[in-house]
Amino acid sequence: MKDLDRTLVPMMALGVLFMTACRKADESALGGGGPRPAAASASAAASAVTPAAVESVAPVVSADPPEVAWTDGGTWISSDIYDFKLESAKYCTKPQKSDAGEPKPGTVWLGVKAQILAKTDEVFLDRRHATLRDKGIYFQASLDLEPFGGCTPAFKPVQLKRGQVTSGYIVFELPKAWPNLLLEFQPTRWGGAGRVRAKVPDPGKVP
């Protein structure tokens, strides 16, 4: 009997160890083998993106082109296909035969004399390419065919070749005498052309 007890005790101990090992294996297979790492949420994944990573994938936005500087009248301004000079400014008198009809009271005509040198062939220039402005207010050149008194010769449409020069008065109809005006000139051309800007000199008193 003692011999039997000595045999059963080790066997029972082995059985307990075997059952414990099986139970741990089952718990591990069923996900019960200790705490599991939580799955990363979408917000956590987003927060993990560093600013450097965002910058590396952000689209590159080109900066605006530099602003064209205003140049004083009487100074040659170099552009891409032409050079421009605003020679002078003066008030003109109304044409005797105006296509625009009778002007409103207080209307004045301001003429700016421009001189342009072509730096390449086939440069078309017209008074329509000029604009007067005062901040957000714009004035287009008059298209009246009759000459304005005191503002001759008129600037006429012309096509220049390299080295040729044209000049004349571009006239603007204004609602009143308007100080501190700025002139913009930019030819309309296939492929584009540069824009120049010049401060209009003091035109003196209205006649």
Q: How far is CA 65 from the centre of its chain?
A: 6
φ and ψ of 121, to 5 deg: -80, 160
48 in a structural domain = no
pLDDT at 198: 92
3-state secondary structure 6-48: HHHHHHHHHHHHHHHHHHHHHHHHCCCCCCCCCCCCHHHHHHC
pLDDT at 45: 39
Element containing residue 57 per DSSP (H, E): helix 51-57
152 in a structural domain = yes
159 in a structural domain = yes
Residue 95: CATH number of its domain: 2.60.40.1240
pLDDT tens readout for residues 150-161: 999 999 999 999
Q: What does the alpha-carbon distance between residue 152 and residue 130 come to, in Å, rounded to a whole number?
A: 17
Q: Which amino acid is at 148?
A: F
35 in a structural domain = no
Contact 124, 87 (CB under 8 A): no
**Residue 168's CB: how many other CB atoms inside 10 A?**
21
101 in a structural domain = yes
pTM: 0.64
Total domains, the chain = 1
Residue the block writes with tokens 């008074």: 127
140 in a structural domain = yes
183 in a structural domain = yes
| Collapsed DSSP state (helix, strand, coil) of residue 164 | coil
Residue span of the structural domain in which 125 resides: 71-199
Q: Which stretches in the chain have pLDDT values below 50?
A: 1-11, 13-18, 21-68
1 in a structural domain = no
pLDDT tens readout for residues 101-151: 666 778 999 999 999 999 999 999 999 999 999 989 999 999 998 899 999
Q: Please list the residues that pair with 173 across neighbouring strands.
A: 109
Buried residues in 126-147 as b, exposed as e (16+ CB within 10 A): bbebbbbeeeeeebebbebeeb
